[in-house]
Amino acid sequence: MSANSWTIAAARDALRKGEISAVDLTMSCLAAMDAGDALNAYVHKTPELALEQARAADARLAAGEAPAMCGIPLGMKDLFAVKGVPTQAGSNILRGFKPEYDSTVTTKLFGAGAVMLGKLNMDEFAMGSSNESSCYGPAVNPWKIDDRQLTPGGSSGGSAAAVAADLCLAATGTDTGGSIRQPAAFCGITGIKPTYGRVSRWGIVAYASSLDQAGPMTKSVRDAAIMLGAMAGHDPKDSTSADLAVPDFEAALTGDIRGQVIGIPTEYRLDGMPAEMAAIWDRGIEMMRDAGAEIREISLPHTKYALPTYYVIAPAEASSNLARYDGVRYGHRAKLAQGDGITEMYEKTRAEGFGAEVQRRIMTGTYVLSAGFYDAYYNRARKVRALIKRDFEQAFAAGVHAILAPATPSSAFGIGEQGGSDPVEMYLNDVFTVTLNLAGLPGVSVPVGLDQKGLPMGLQLIGRPWEEGALLNHAYVLESAAGFVAKPNNWW
């Protein structure tokens, strides 16, 4: 087994024992990155920075000062600001932009000794479920059937593809409506969206500020616990960051959930759900029951309003956040004709710089915030959001410790197969995931099995706010029972 295929936990132990150096581990990942170019997962490689950080990690290891992430090679989603490294959020409008600062998440990871291999592909401004809106072209799922190229999901598609293909040991992702959990399920890896406020948003290019949350995308639940511990923590630069201590998430992985109550939401059993998805959900329920958990049917009655609520609130916030991209201070600026003024510069720059999906969401968001429609759409969506959150609060107050549900309606679909003439078709991929973002809850996707086509399928566990340790322990039990060890066939 080559070193780039190791988990964080295995690599951490080998590094501390001196069985491999951080430089050699990084070199293994850099070689895999180059061999995996066909997946289009990396959009900016940073080998010089990676080796510099690896040498620094080796010095810390030699001195016996090695945090859990010391020497671990990671990929960084293209939303995270890294000083001196292009950060484009998958958009032409930020072409050439190199931040003069690091995001809080990258600062924390680098402080913990992590190594950055490069920036990873993503849907433009995190708006998408297939990575097809990226200005770099789509990332490709390393899982393949016949000659079809499959989507790795979105928006963190490059992160999921890179982790699944062993082009890094783990990656950062962000989740606004499922953008960690859906690609994790499509690519057969683990991904956790923490409670809103657990991980700082400072220095992450914003999509919808009340929904965005960063989290780790890893090869195992234990790795997710290790990496989340390095990413989380209070940040005074983020007014929504929670001033709470960061628990030892790895220590919470006891594997014991006896007596815990697992809720099964009846509203998630949708009409037309593929039989394979229903079967794998039922299999997951039995796994949790066999582990000693109590299974309880619950109702989340406002779930049916979650998608329309999300697709009012998220575009509204995006229309405000993306107003700053105007060609004046940084990024792309359109060439102007003689006589053009400031208005023409704004119009031409934004028309050239933003892709079709981003333009669609900006226009939708501007519309629902406009005079005469604010109360009818945005204000009403905010009220429904409160009801969705209350559904979860009532379930947890009634004794439910975690909720088990599908992560996606299906396994990965082919690139170009959805959303062509009807964007709503693509939006339906978020049907099981957006509720957590609206309620601010933590959720984790775990691979459980393969469908008849040989593609991975994942289930998600939804936890109580601020109880990521308990949630990860539930996920650890599910992971152990499922025994998912399948890997893509290395066709690239």
Catalytic residue numbers, as ranges: 77, 155, 179
Alpha carbon distance 145, 162 (integer Å): 18
Residue whose tokens read 């964007």: 423
Alpha-carbon distances of 272 from 240, 268, 409, rounded to whole Å:
39, 11, 10
Alpha carbon distance 47, 40 (integer Å): 16
Find the length of the chain.
492
Question: In this structure, are residues 253 and 472 in contact, taking their beta carbons and an 8 Å threshold?
Answer: yes
Give the type of residue at 429.
N
Alpha carbon distance 441, 209 (integer Å): 15
Per-residue HEC secondary structure of 270-309 comes to CCCCCHHHHHHHHHHHHHHHHCCCEEEEECCHHHHHHHHH
Which of these, 162, 158, 165, 118, lies nearest to 139 by C-alpha position? 158
Cα angle for residues 193, 100, 362 (degrees, 5° grid): 55
Alpha carbon distance 159, 183 (integer Å): 8
Question: In this structure, are residues 376 and 304 in contact, taking their beta carbons and an 8 Å threshold?
Answer: no
Sort strands 456-463 and 294-298 into parallel, antiparallel or unpaired: unpaired
Question: In this structure, are residues 101 and 83 in contact, taking their beta carbons and an 8 Å threshold?
Answer: yes
Sort strands 261-265 and 402-406 into parallel, antiparallel or unpaired: parallel
Q: Is the peptide bond before 155 cis (omega within 30 degrees of 0)?
A: yes
Cα angle for residues 281, 284, 288 (degrees, 5° grid): 140
Sheet harboring 42-45: ordered strands across?
A: 42-45, 115-120, 73-77, 170-174, 214-218, 190-193, 443-450, 456-463, 402-406, 261-265, 294-298
Alpha carbon distance 403, 204 (integer Å): 29
Phi-psi region of 490 (alpha: psi -120 to 50; beta: other; left: phi over 0): left
